[in-house]
Amino acid sequence: MSGIIGRKIGMTNIFDAEGKSIACTVIEAGPCVVTQVKNKSTDGYEAVQLGFGEKKEKHTTKPLMGHFKKANTTPKRKVVEFKNFAKDVKLGDVVAANDVFNEGDKVAVIGTSKGRGFQGVVKRHNFSGVGGQTHGQHNRQRHAGSVGACSFPARTFPLTRMAGRMGNQRTTIKNLKVLKVYPEQNVVVVSGSIPGAKNSFVFIKK
């Protein structure tokens, strides 16, 4: 499995050969630098560590500065490991979008979904609410209702759907199709939507 680190630019639409409009997402994919190559003898497993995005030295710790100097590169904002990397790479190599992806490939995109803050059950769990204000209802149209379990066991069961924090979670969207690859701009266009806000980091796995 190969992959690359990218940044979500935004959404647009393109037309296919049949003239159908396809919603798609534009991702700045790479170029990434190989900051470490792990193997079973020294690390216990095989993986390739990639770094993406520039970071100031004054905001980088000294251990990380030494880590990046081994790869002969500048400090990176995001560092991610990819196991079973299909391409044979060495420390300090640069991995671009066209080195990993081709048009027509199916990929999975991992990102952090937008944070919605503290939300009620209607928005968070699609509750329908009470409806009309009949039978003396007052200010309970969007409330959750009863969540207790009577005198036994006298507690609320775990995983009961209630109001709480929504979003801001690691989310994976699978089986997205690579529609276009632009090597000059380091841009990959994938079908559909991906998690995260604009300019947020995403990981594309093949």
5-62 tens-digit pLDDT: 999 999 999 888 888 899 999 999 878 888 888 888 888 888 888 999 888 888 888 9
CATH 3.20.20.70 correct for 3-117+171-205: no
Distance CA 28, CA 83 (A): 22
Give the helix/strand (H/E) hosting 22. strand 21-29
Place of tokens 């190599």: 93
Residue 199 to residues 27, 28, 92, 131, 188, Cα–Cα distance (Å): 9, 9, 25, 40, 14
Q: Please give the pLDDT value at position 132.
A: 66
> Tens digit of pLDDT for each residue in 127-178?
887 766 666 667 778 888 888 778 888 888 999 999 999 999 999 999 999 9
Residue 152 to residues 19, 58, 160, 162, Cα–Cα distance (Å): 62, 58, 16, 20
Q: Please give the pLDDT value at position 170.
A: 94
* Whether 51 contacts 32, CB under 8 Å: yes
Q: Please give the pLDDT value at position 130.
A: 74
Range list of H helices, 6-80: 40-43, 62-70
Domain segments of the chain as ranges:
3-117+171-205, 118-166
CA dihedral 109, 115, 121, 125 (to 10 degrees): 0
Q: Please give the pLDDT value at position 137.
A: 66
